[in-house]
Amino acid sequence: MMKFLMLLAVFTCTTSANQQTDLAVLESMVRVLATAEGKRLFVGTAVVVAKHRAVTNCHVVRKAHSILVFRGVVRYRVNALVADPENDLCLLHIPLLDLPFVPLRASKTVQLNEPISIVAYPNNIGISLRRGQVIGIHEYARTHAIEVDSGFAQGTSGGGVFDQHGQLLGLATFFTRSRNPRFFAIAADRIERLLEQKVAAIKPFSRVSYWELGKFSYE
């Protein structure tokens, strides 16, 4: 069984080739801090995808009793969520958050070798952006995992993977534990469904994603 790692650390920042698009994307990112039993803390990133709504990986928040998101030094409380544990997508409801939101792009339109940017919050050192390209598109249960060549380390869970126009392709989520790691984003396809569903109270849950269960094959 292939082993995968959640993204919970820092990646390197690079300069922007399209400042206007980059600035728009950066305005739609927030840092996530989830507090679990015993005051254990889980950190990650979320992308604002609708008014008062931001999406992150469920593995960041599934053990949480309370969740905060941060924009700079300003913090906002998450009061509910919609969870899709199998696809590792959790939509956070943040009533006081009023930031620009990004457009979504269907994974069926993504092309090999297409340029991308990965944007996320490393641990306690601010937001970061890294360039790369799509090197694989892997189907799973009517959606896709998008493979990218831009490596990311632990600390970036829920970070946005964007095209050149600032459209969200997916969330940086996992990589293989191997001598030559491979890096994957969960496609944004199912976010639209989450936006249509009723929110639920925040409480811990145990269901895990398809990639954590070893159901994903990239060959």
Output the pLDDT for position 156.
87
CATH of the domain at 58: 2.40.10.10
Output the pLDDT for position 1.
44
- Percent pLDDT > 90 in the chain is 71
Domain for residue 216, yes or no?
no
Residues 115 and 181 in one domain: yes
Q: What is the pLDDT of residues 125-152, one digit of tens each?
A: 789 999 999 999 998 877 789 999 987 7
Domain for residue 217, yes or no?
no
The two tokens of residue 6 are 């959640």
Residues 44 and 152 in one domain: no
Output the pLDDT for position 153.
66
| Spans of the chain below 70 pLDDT | 1-17, 123-124, 153-154, 218-219
d(CA 187, CA 111): 13
Output the pLDDT for position 5.
55
Give SS3 for 29: strand
Residues 50 and 157 in one domain: no
Output the pLDDT for position 146.
96
Output the pLDDT for position 16.
39
Domain for residue 201, yes or no?
no
Residues 132 and 83 in one domain: no
d(CA 182, CA 32): 25
Q: What is the pLDDT of residues 71-97, one digit of tens each?
A: 989 999 999 999 999 999 999 999 999
Residues 116 and 71 in one domain: no
Residues 141 and 184 in one domain: yes
CA 75 to centroid of chain Cα atoms: 19
Residue 69: domain span: 28-101+192-196
Count: domains in the chain: 2
Domain for residue 147, yes or no?
yes
DSSP per-residue codes, 126-172: --EEEEEEEEEEEEETTEEEEEESS---TT-TTEEEE-TTS-EEEEE
Beta bridge mates, 42: 34
Domain for residue 12, yes or no?
yes
The two tokens of residue 179 are 């001598």
Q: Which residues have CB under 8 Å from 109's CB, separation 6+?
A: none
Domain for residue 203, yes or no?
no
